[in-house]
Chain A
Amino acid sequence: MTKSPNRMLATIFGAVYLLIGLLGFAVTGGVGFIATKGGLLLGLFEVNPLHNVAHLLIGAALVIAGLSSIRASRTVNSVIGAVYLLLGIVGLFILDSPANILAINGWDNVLHFASAIILLGVGLGADKGRVATA
């Protein structure tokens, strides 16, 4: 695993997102499942229970892929990176609307955007010649 950037990234990011997902439930007591205003995680990132579940699912997918194979981690990194990039862009437009069912705020957009470029960069750019041998 330490020889593949994709497997290493998927495992590290997956663990972090699992932790964020669990911590999120500590600040979303009494918050509606898809409420547009949630609790603040670390005083910055706004989350609601749906957002926490999404973090847990993404974290689990990344960890499983990272522990499985290069091909799986490349695919999962790229797909989640693309979804985060889309979410980062869409998030800019829905911040103050009823469509904001993930209770996204400005800092969430920054986190989604940073995650997107790192996941996409490694998923699309690394381990190309090694997938066949994974």
Chain B
Amino acid sequence: MSQVTRCWLSFAAIGSGVVHLALVISSPLPLAVPMLVLGLAELIWAVSVLVKDRIVTARLAQIGATAPLILWSLLVVVATMLGTPQIASPLRFVPMAIAAAFELFIAGTIAVYLRRVAAASHPDAAPAPTQTQSAGRYLAAVFVGGLLVGALTTPALAATQAGTVAQEHGGTMGGMMMMDMPGMGHH
């Protein structure tokens, strides 16, 4: 896996981790604790990937990226079936959906990586070519990843309880606080 792809994976994990941490504020304790653990784990994993120059605990990371999606889906289904939307409403739609996009990117990229590792371990496999790139090109790719994660994380954070407080203190964050999205809720 290239250095840029690892960097993007790490950025996605940081974005997802920060969104999950921001959701802790508005969540009741049974949801806040797993959100806190998940957010911190994502941040630690992101830094580990950068520091160790490889995908750390790839299978566990893949499970960690998909499990919250499945659990959130189940929670929404249960809340709908029981007619009690307050069960799922603390996990607002916009931040959870954006965190889900990050998680899907992580899970998909790791799946491709694991397949390539399995193929490379085959006795007939050709050695992988060594990739080298210029500093400018690498930096441009990092900037694109950083801006994309920032652009996706901004509306996610704005739609959390923490972001709602920001509306009172520093404006509407360019109108993003005024979005009327299903499941987002207003105060």
A residues contacting B by CB (< 8 A) are 2-5, 8-9, 37, 40, 44, 46, 85, 88-89, 92-93, 95-96, 100, 104-110, 113-114, 116-118, 120-122, 124-126, 128
Contact = CB atoms under 8 A, between A and B. Distances in A.
17 contacts: A5-B142, A9-B139, A46-B169, A92-B21, A95-B162, A107-B171, A107-B173, A108-B170, A110-B157, A113-B18, A113-B157, A117-B150, A121-B50, A125-B10, A125-B50, A126-B135, A126-B138
Interface-central residue, A106, A126, A128, by most chain B CB under 10 Å? A106
Given A113-B150, A114-B150, A117-B150, A106 B47 contact: no
Contacts of A110: 150, 153-154, 157, 173
A106 B173 contact: yes
Nearest to B145: A121
A125 B143 CA distance: 14
A95 B166 contact: yes
Contact of B135 (A4, A96, A108, A125): A4
B149 interface: yes
B14 A124 contact: no
A21 B168 CA distance: 25
Contacts of B21: 89, 92
B174 interface: yes
Contact of A124 (B25, B47, B138, B173): B47
A124 B147 contact: no
B18 A2 contact: no
A92 B160 CA distance: 10
Given A124-B47, A125-B3, A106 B18 contact: no
B22 interface: yes
Contacts, number: 113
A113 B163 contact: no
Contacts of A95: 162, 165-166, 169-170
**Chain B interface residue count: which class?**
35 or more
Interface in B109-153: 134-136, 138-139, 142-143, 145-147, 149-150, 153
B167 interface: yes
B45 interface: no
Contacts of B142: 5, 9, 118, 121-122
Contacts of B43: 85
A70 B62 CA distance: 34
A105 B135 contact: no
A125 B6 CA distance: 9
Which 8 A-B pairs give the minimum distances between C-beta atoms?
Answer: A105-B170, A106-B166, A114-B150, A124-B50, A92-B162, A118-B146, A106-B173, A125-B50
Given A113-B153, A114-B150, A124-B51, A106 B167 contact: yes
Interface string B70-108: 000000000000000000000000000000000000000
B125 to A, nearest CB: 25
B7 interface: yes
A92 B139 contact: no
